Structure 1
Amino acid sequence: MKDPNTKTVTVGDIAPTATNDGDLHKGDVLAIEETRGITIKEHELSFWAAVRQWPKAVGWAFLFCVAVIMAGFDAQIITTFFALPAFQRKFGYEYNGSYIISAPWQMGLNMGNPIGQALGALACGWPLEKLGRRLTLAICCVWSIAFVFVQFFATSIGMLCAGEILGGLAYGFYVVIAPTYASEICPLALRGVLTASVNLAFVIGQFIAQGVAAGLESRLDEWAYKAPFAIQWLWPVVLLIGLVFAPESPYWLVRKERRDDARKALMRLSSAKNRPDIDGMLVMIEQTDLLERELESTTTYWDCFKKANLIRTEISVMVYLIQVIGGNPLIAYSTFFFETAGLSDSESFNMGVGNTALGFVGTCLSWPLMLYFGRRSIYNSGMILMTIILFVIGFLDFGRSNSGAVWAQASLMDIWTFIYQTTVGPVCFVIISEISATRLRGRTIAIATAVQAVANIVFTVVLPYMLNTDEGDWRGKTGFLFGAISLGCYVWCFFRLPESKGRTFEELDILFERKVPPRQFKNHNLVAGESENEV
């Protein structure tokens, strides 16, 4: 039975309890009233109808994802250099008749991207809220153009490391801005696909890097590694041109009390021929912001760890962290992994290209999957399959003297990548974009990005010593380590990962404030009223 002392309140009207301290307590109930009509319309809107209504939002979300291509390209190209003969001769040393890059320098070069991401992600909170999404991204593009010069003209491996770290600061901004912007400019029906496009951008960057490295593998001059750096000047130029015309996030404009500008932005994001309910969308944005103001008046990093935001931050951090600790570093090391597993240089590069190509196909396949299946279902299914494959790769390494076992490991690595890029990879960006509160989204994603970057730094230190032939020479046995970690992560996902598919940001705010258990999110009905959720 419903407690007679419990007061049902509309969005923006949070009833204090007997303590009169203004905080939410057990017994307080939040309900959708002001936006019930538009919320129902959001639930009923199909994917293709949303595309017809918001075609420009799709285009602008993809443009912002171009920035993430840079992050994926840079992280991948550095690791492919370790198997590039021209780079090995320039910056490596001779070992058993061939040139290799020492494990400490591999660690140092790989540190640049994750260190830059960690620092950049934590630094982006203030400019994102103060300057907006467009201007912040434009400043980062100028920064990237400047520090690609350092990488291109590097005369020593130390100078190259410095360029990687300084350039990596912008990458921390990019991986926060892209999913934040994509989630704030589209209706509910498009949110999954557009935020998952961030992962596709990573894969595109990795694919281009692998293709460029494979194409230059036979070159023995300095252009074998300088040309890839020069390519990185392309992306920020394209972005700067597009940003001149891009609309700002309506959610950010509403928070800055620029209602008219927010309405104009929604008009620019939608189709003139199939105009959606702009006023209804604007009311929903305003009510969501009003609700979050009532729940938490400030937007500091500390607020991400207070009240219901703590679990939202936990979920965002974990799903992003799992990308690293669950085996993702092996994708970046795929070419080097194949080489140390026993394949030739050309076979390793070709397998590396195939690996990223499968990732591209997998990410595209994730889009229709998300239209029919929930985020939780896809993510957890991927975790189970990936864990099994990692253990199989590890067991196969006991027969690594057999060429068939080596090819089986390489093939399973490709299958693992395909499953990862179909499930955990893209769905991660959907979850962190949906789970975080709109007023704290930039900071929550920044925290998650920084944590996964720190974890990436740890594996950047460890992996070269595990894989290098002059160090641990683990080869396929690396699968045991990541398999065990992945199994533990799946247990967390089973108990702590909620279902956010089909929920507006306002609904998610209410579900978290009500402290609905994560495994019950899917079946908790907010729109129909309280009685349907009572037992």
Structure 2
Amino acid sequence: MSKTTDKKTLTRELTLDDGDAAKPAGSLGIGGNLDPALDQAIQFEHSLTFLQACKLYPAAIGWSAFVSIGVIMLAFDPQLLGNLYAMPQFRKDFGYLYDGDYIISAPWQTGLSMGNPVGQVVGALAAGYPMERFGRKATFGTCVALTAALIFIQFFARSLSVLLVGELLGGLVLGCYAVIAPAYSSEVCPMAIRGILTSYVNLCFVIGQLLGNSVCAGTTKLGDHWAYSIPFALQWLWCLVILPGLFFVPESPWWLVRRGRLEEAEAVLRKLASERVDVRQTLAVIVETDRLEQELEMGSTYWDCFRGVNARRTEISVGVYCTQVLSGIYLINYGTYFFSLAGLDTDQAFQMGIGFLAVGFLGTIISWPLILRYGRRTIYNTGLSVLIVLQLVIGILDCIPGRPTAVIWAESSLMLVWNFFYDISIGPVCFVIISEASATRVRSKSIAVATAAQGALGCLMTIAIPYMINPDQANMQGKLGFFFGGLASLCFVWAFFRVPETKGRTYEELDILFERKVPMRKFAGYVIESDGGEHER
């Protein structure tokens, strides 16, 4: 196959059955009959069950999970920092005496904790260009190498100012992983397992947070700098795991098609799928979807994310990601510290923090069969409504005069329940939606914009939360439930009208649904016929 052959010719070649005359590939969005081979490939995608897809695409599942390890590093760092505020040795070495105990001042907590959200804003937007220019694989490898180098600053820091530099520089690189992982997962996996593997990104967040809590719980009683130096050093472990595997990571076939490298794209598809899969048909669908998006003028720049029908799709990605922050997820970074301020002793606070994230791990796994059964919209909206109720109940309990011990434990336990429902709903489903709602030509940039918007809100929360919970400031404790419950209620109103059901749709079908401006609540029942017609179920 000649590398100079244009995509239109290649589409015709790839969609031929033996003995057929060449005929141009049709388009679901333009009208006319869909080429039989393309129609067969699309029907194959729709007919695959989850278990069948797992058997046919084991390599795609493995490499998707491998690239998502970067998200574990992204989640480990802020969770580690939040736990250090509750670590006696860290407070003694870096803090000051207040009311008989050492604390880290709210301004320094804010500054140190800004590294991760600032990194999401700058790093996410910066990741969009190299991901499209150099590919997912090269961008991922560069980020891992930079992370390994920047950990040295955190490990050897002996003052808050040096640690601040390490957190800010490290956060710039860590922010890229939040874009790379969901984009890569959505582009190497078939539709039947796409939702699970993109939601796996949320499990990586939970794993990183859980490890951060567990490591700090194990070192908190050390009486020297190793209490916090060991947790910083353990971040190198992930770099050592990833770097050797980078030589074997397949590039995204969608990116290769957009670069006109169809022979390489076909070779990658063969690596990702078993021998029983006709990868030439899969490649034909990718080429046709890319052709349709060019015809619909989807574009490929940041500006294109806000132009035409893409503006609606970017709004959805930004909205579902920002809802995570507005519903209270940034409290997780201060979980152990929050429990200690609520009245639990240090050991109980660390144990509760570990339990807090353990139920999140369980919730994410339970979400997978729910995503397969009920899709995206139902789980997202139902879960968000439960979170609102739980936050408001926590706020009401905190108003009980004297806050007896039973109330303290009740509030802490409800926070565990809240995290379970978060990780069974808007936590994992968010990553599915941002991967499916964006057009393939602007996917990396659309996810980058959503990640940056979430990071910008995260910056505001990082500034506000220490002042809201610190004992020398507002000392709101459980009354934060009123604050986040109110914000989440506004998010629910938006989600009810704007979040679509994307389950069971190929990327070409999603392009058509958005182009035809189908109402969000009708996405699930809208039928597109291969002859160019359509109707509702």
Q: Common fold, TM-score beyond 0.5?
A: yes
1:380 and 1:31 map into 2 onto residues whose CA distance is 37
1:227 equivalent to 2:230? Answer yes
Amino acid at match of 1:122: L
RMSD: 1.5
Which position in structure 1 is the counterpart of 2:346?
A: 345
Query: Is this contact kept in 2: 1:40–1:527, CA < 8 A?
Result: no
Amino acid at match of 1:509: D
The 5 A counterparts of 1:48-447 are 48-272=51-275, 275-296=276-297, 298-399=299-400, 401-447=403-449
Deviation string 1:312-335 (CA, Å, 9 cap, x unpaired) is 000000000011111101122111
Deviation string 1:38-77 (CA, Å, 9 cap, x unpaired) is 2222111000000000000000000001000000000100
* TM-score for both structures, normalised by structure 2: 0.93
Deviation string 1:283-338 (CA, Å, 9 cap, x unpaired) is 11001111111122631100000110000000000000011111101122111111
Query: Is this contact kept in 1: 2:526–2:536, CA < 8 A?
Result: no
Structure 1 unaligned spans of 5+? 1-11, 13-27
Query: Is this contact kept in 1: 2:525–2:536, CA < 8 A?
Result: no
Residue 30 of structure 1: how far off its partner (Å) = 5.6
1:33 equivalent to 2:34? Answer yes
Amino acid at match of 2:264: D
1:354 and 1:393 map into 2 onto residues whose CA distance is 18
Residue 36 of structure 1: how far off its partner (Å) = 2.5
2:453 and 2:425 map into 1 onto residues whose CA distance is 21
Query: Is this contact kept in 1: 2:502–2:524, CA < 8 A?
Result: yes
Of 397-406 and 128-137, more deviation after overlay is shown by: 397-406
Amino acid at match of 1:393: I
What secondary structure sits across from 1:94 in the alignment?
A: strand
* TM-score for both structures, normalised by structure 1: 0.93
- Against the structure 1 CA distance between its residues 330 and 259, is the aligned structure 2 distance closer, same or farther, given a 3 Å change threshold? same
Amino acid at match of 1:368: P
Query: Is this contact kept in 2: 1:61–1:181, CA < 8 A?
Result: yes
Deviation string 1:219-250 (CA, Å, 9 cap, x unpaired) is 12101111111011111221111110111100
Runs of 4+, deviation exceeding 6 Å: none
What secondary structure sits across from 1:381 in the alignment?
A: helix
1:87 and 1:271 map into 2 onto residues whose CA distance is 51
Residue 194 of structure 1: how far off its partner (Å) = 0.4
1:525 equivalent to 2:537? Answer no
Deviation string 1:84-106 (CA, Å, 9 cap, x unpaired) is 00100011110110001100000
Residue 33 of structure 1: how far off its partner (Å) = 1.8
What secondary structure sits across from 1:219 in the alignment?
A: coil
Residue 477 of structure 1: how far off its partner (Å) = 0.0
Which position in structure 2 is the counterpart of 1:6?
A: none
2:370 and 2:231 map into 1 onto residues whose CA distance is 34
2:322 and 2:33 map into 1 onto residues whose CA distance is 33
2:533 and 2:207 map into 1 onto residues whose CA distance is 48
2:531 and 2:83 map into 1 onto residues whose CA distance is 55
Of 476-485 and 153-162, more deviation after overlay is shown by: 153-162
Query: Is this contact kept in 1: 2:124–2:449, CA < 8 A?
Result: yes
2:69 and 2:433 map into 1 onto residues whose CA distance is 20
> Which of the residues 481, 501, 508 maps onto 2:510?
508
Deviation string 1:435-478 (CA, Å, 9 cap, x unpaired) is 11111000000000001001000000000000001100000000
Deviation string 1:100-133 (CA, Å, 9 cap, x unpaired) is 1100000001001111121010111110011101
- Against the structure 1 CA distance between its residues 301 and 531, is the aligned structure 2 distance closer, same or farther, given a 3 Å change threshold? closer
Amino acid at match of 2:182: P
Report % sequence identity: 50
What secondary structure sits across from 1:58 in the alignment?
A: helix
What secondary structure sits across from 2:97 in the alignment?
A: strand
- Against the structure 1 CA distance between its residues 124 and 32, is the aligned structure 2 distance closer, same or farther, given a 3 Å change threshold? farther
Which position in structure 1 is the counterpart of 2:494?
A: 492
What secondary structure sits across from 1:525 in the alignment?
A: strand
Residue 360 of structure 1: how far off its partner (Å) = 0.6
2:398 and 2:386 map into 1 onto residues whose CA distance is 19
Structure 2 unaligned spans of 5+? 1-10, 12-28
2:268 and 2:324 map into 1 onto residues whose CA distance is 34
